[in-house]
Structure 1
């Protein structure tokens, strides 16, 4: 269970007042010599006094801490205020004159105390403002991973049960077929034996009649019967020939437990190495920075400014930067960022071209793609694109070698996105009017299937564009359901967005460095801007602004927004962040 965030120890929450009597101005400075807080006018007056001319007056944040009052054990009338470096002990000024401390090096104890006090404050500030919240974030991530692991294990259990049930059904079917075949053989044999039985009935009846005939001769007293009526060369019909039934034999199958295991499949432990959790870097905290010396602080500010990434925000308006036509395509249905100066662009007819930012074609490929986000570029700069006809996902390496990377079985792959977080592939697929999103790792191993929400209801029908947000959310445009579906990295449904008008037809979708979701609505020729939680923020373009036919979007590393049109091969670049 996550603990609540500890509170930062109490610090001044109001304006400090000048410490001089009857002065109510705000404190800005501090005299380290007499430990007095003061405003600017009082500081000037304080330093004008001759005996104060050597006092050290600094801005309040750089003040030295006043030593707690502690009496010397050896000289009870004196206060401890110096530090002996040789003996590593605090002393009073009278102790420093003692024989055992002669020629020792002494330091102002107040300076050491201030340094250590400041160091403790800085460390406490880092603990409460970085280490504790970061640990709590990681703890929540661990809890989310535990939930995800349970879901995956439940999914595997379900799959195993389905496979076992399928095998049972197959066994029942084979048994039924065998039984039916045996019944037919039995019926045929019994019918043949019944026929043989009738043959013998007829033969026995014939013998019975023959016996009667012979007995009639034997009982007759007329000799003529033996000479005239009794047949010559009397011969009894031979016994009919019949065959014994040939019964079938049962050949039992020779199988072991491993044979059944191969039929059912088995759980295979992943060979992937566990990835270290990402720990966000610690920024310089204001309170810590304010405690450094002025020269050190100036240098620190310069370093922070040079290293710190510029904070981005939404601009008040969208500015068109440039536009260019892309030879080799008739439309711009999808754009994949290759590197800072190269793009992959596809049209409705399966033409996929690589171009620079001036529209010069570098290479061209013929694919089976249509109006889907069916290509992406990996972290290793390999092009990935789906083949809907063959139901495979192809990979083109930088040496232009095309290979079948993943086979998707009965599912037709439409959209694909390479994660910038971990390099996984997210693939939107469709089969029999049902859709799903499948996650594969870099080697093409299937990791996750996302198909239903926690109520068992299908999330997708036709996931034809797909992307990933900075928090790991999977964002999908569904053409058949007219909705943008967003699930978290564990596959749990977070929200669905259905637009602002009565008709919403989402196409191209992407995210930016701030976690915004940008999605094209081809029914109104607009680009909807959502926040990370699905709240509508604005329409970046409208028909009244002269923007029409927008269907694809892509944001590059410089926060430039590329918008493609479905009626021309024009690609337009905008600035919408500042």
Structure 2
């Protein structure tokens, strides 16, 4: 079959680069590949790809037309969103409707099914499993927690009528709490049964290569992203009373709290404190631009609202600039090689990674101290955490392994490399950021995914681009987070930035005439600073 957008004289081209003749076909993703793009495609380890020579690919299973049994449905009616045969498209009830090549639709739809299956398996279903376990634990602890409230009421009250009234209220709340937990258990169990069936059906559709089943599939992922409510045991804010005090002076019970979000991570006191809610602007605004003077720009890190550290991929000098394009300080690396990444510590010192000599270095009072020296591993990207640790992404010297390591000073505290099944979490050492909820977010450029784990290193989710976008490749570069626990990642090749919530749900794009956005950082007021790779400019954007 010839490419639908090209004439008969032209050769078939790779679906990824669209410039080189195709040679192979991935039967899992239903995509045609040239020799150069095969390696890039199979580097996404989240799928078990099956790349075969193009001429040995499986033929799609076309369905028979119900109106014309001797015809196959080898076209797609874009209006009715179903496969149709050529006779129906030209002379039948689909006459005049826009139609497209079924192969093209099949490829896009297959990728959409793959994304749905990946989200269900790695993010949505594990979340329901976690919730089911949490609900059972909470039910087991219910008697003890409400018993403590009753005991506290007995200890603090001296007016029997009021004490009894309060204890009756506690008993009523406990029954309501238990009823809600039982309802949650039923709902979660039912949803898990449905999810298993959907995942099984998806795998069957993908394996069947059936054009009709694939093209008519409707995603249900969105309905499972709304989680059952979480119930919180009320607290008793009480004060000592005596017989002369009135009922209203007796401590009051807080109302039973039923939240629509299910918590899944223990947070530090600093992370728990709620910041003011800042809604997203409908139209983000460019408020400043800095010309760094580099040939290209790699990373940016905020020292303050109007001062940023910058570094280039081909320059050994790191520059501190203000919004007026004035050079305030410049520091050269100890090795004389360019820095891979930079970050500012809570003490306002600069940290940089240097993979030429496999070190992480701290600049304090313009003096460079090597704080970490690696062996067999190359440090790439770095961020400073709320607890003043360093998180460093790194690759092994043979580029076959990648991991994230947490350091306190020079001491390694944690290494994150594999998921619960022993599979590698990362394909490469990418830009890294710690979210306000203490999740660790990595932009894995090679895997074309943002990989997010919790504080313990357990995989929470992978974001591989907007679910509806099957045309443009997603290659995340820089990554940062803000006070609202948003995750922002630079989609460099598409000249935009994705904003996600803390659970990986896409919220919005930032465009602002960006050109190859690369490094990102956010200041204390949630202004976004974007390092443009080609123009070597830093752009300051208000988006909240």
- The aligned counterpart of 1:495 is 461
Q: How has the CA–CA distance of structure 1 residues 571 and 311 changed in structure 2, closer, same or farther, with 3 Å as cutoff?
A: same
State the 1:278 CA deviation.
5.8
Q: Quick check: 1:347–1:371 contact (8 Å CA) kept in 2?
A: yes
- The aligned counterpart of 2:499 is 529
Distance 1:481 1:457 in 2: 14
Spell out, residue by residue over 1:436-472, the C-alpha distance to the aligned partner (whole angstroms, 9 max, x if none): 100111x220011111111111111222211110111
Distance 1:392 1:89 in 2: 67
- The aligned counterpart of 1:391 is 358
Where does 1:12-161 land on structure 2 (aligned, <5 Å)?
112-114=245-247, 117-121=248-252, 124-125=253-254, 141=266
In the alignment, structure 1 residue 553 sits paired with structure 2 residue 520: yes
**SS in structure 2 at match of 1:464:** coil
Relative contact order: is structure 1 or structure 2 higher (C-alpha 8 Å, sep ≥ 6)?
2
Larger C-alpha radius of gyration, 1 or 2?
1
Where does 1:171-210 land on structure 2 (aligned, <5 Å)?
none
Spell out, residue by residue over 1:5-56, the C-alpha distance to the aligned partner (whole angstroms, 9 max, x if none): 8798689xxxxxxxxxxxxxxxxxxxxxxxxxxxxxxxxxxxxxxxxxxxxx
Counterpart of 1:359 (choices 310, 325, 331) is 325
Q: Quick check: 1:509–1:519 contact (8 Å CA) kept in 2?
A: yes
In the alignment, structure 1 residue 463 sits paired with structure 2 residue 429: yes
TM-score where L is the length of structure 2 = 0.51
Distance 1:371 1:483 in 2: 24
Counterpart of 1:562 (choices 526, 529, 536) is 529
Which stretches in structure 1 are left out of the alignment for 5+ residues? 12-87, 91-108, 145-275, 282-307
**SS in structure 2 at match of 1:436:** strand
State the 1:314 CA deviation.
1.0
In the alignment, structure 1 residue 426 sits paired with structure 2 residue 396: no
**SS in structure 1 at match of 2:302:** strand
- The aligned counterpart of 1:347 is 312
Q: Quick check: 2:450–2:462 contact (8 Å CA) kept in 1?
A: yes
Q: Quick check: 2:288–2:323 contact (8 Å CA) kept in 1?
A: no
Q: How has the CA–CA distance of structure 1 residues 546 and 509 changed in structure 2, closer, same or farther, with 3 Å as cutoff?
A: same
Spell out, residue by residue over 1:295-338, the C-alpha distance to the aligned partner (whole angstroms, 9 max, x if none): xxxxxxxxxxxxx96431111211121222124x2333211112
Counterpart of 2:301 (choices 321, 325, 336) is 336
Q: Quick check: 2:277–2:484 contact (8 Å CA) kept in 1?
A: no
- The aligned counterpart of 1:45 is none
Q: Quick check: 1:348–1:369 contact (8 Å CA) kept in 2?
A: no
- The aligned counterpart of 1:448 is 414
- The aligned counterpart of 1:411 is 377
**SS in structure 2 at match of 1:315:** coil
Where does 1:372-383 land on structure 2 (aligned, <5 Å)?
372=340, 374-383=341-350
Q: Quick check: 1:326–1:360 contact (8 Å CA) kept in 2?
A: no
Spell out, residue by residue over 1:331-379, the C-alpha distance to the aligned partner (whole angstroms, 9 max, x if none): 332111123332111112133211122221112223467695x111111
- The aligned counterpart of 2:280 is 314
**SS in structure 2 at match of 1:523:** helix
Distance 1:403 1:526 in 2: 36
- The aligned counterpart of 1:188 is none
Counterpart of 2:404 (choices 437, 440, 445) is 437
TM-score where L is the length of structure 1 = 0.48
Counterpart of 1:486 (choices 447, 452, 458) is 452
Distance 1:309 1:488 in 2: 20
Distance 1:499 1:558 in 2: 27
Q: Quick check: 1:482–1:506 contact (8 Å CA) kept in 2?
A: yes
Q: How has the CA–CA distance of structure 1 residues 314 and 376 changed in structure 2, closer, same or farther, with 3 Å as cutoff?
A: same
- The aligned counterpart of 2:510 is 540
Distance 1:522 1:280 in 2: 33
Q: Quick check: 1:333–1:371 contact (8 Å CA) kept in 2?
A: no
State the 1:280 CA deviation.
5.1
Q: How has the CA–CA distance of structure 1 residues 309 and 539 changed in structure 2, closer, same or farther, with 3 Å as cutoff?
A: closer
Distance 2:481 2:403 in 1: 21
**SS in structure 1 at match of 2:324:** coil
State the 1:476 CA deviation.
0.6
Number of positions where the alignment pairs a residue of Structure 1 with one of Structure 2 = 304
Distance 2:455 2:534 in 1: 35
- The aligned counterpart of 1:36 is none
Spell out, residue by residue over 1:481-525, the C-alpha distance to the aligned partner (whole angstroms, 9 max, x if none): 221111111011111111134411111100111111100111211
Distance 1:515 1:557 in 2: 13
Which stretches in structure 2 are left out of the alignment for 5+ residues? 1-136, 150-168, 174-240
In the alignment, structure 1 residue 507 sits paired with structure 2 residue 468: no
State the 1:137 CA deviation.
7.8
Q: Quick check: 1:435–1:463 contact (8 Å CA) kept in 2?
A: yes
Q: Quick check: 1:436–1:460 contact (8 Å CA) kept in 2?
A: yes
Q: Quick check: 1:342–1:356 contact (8 Å CA) kept in 2?
A: yes
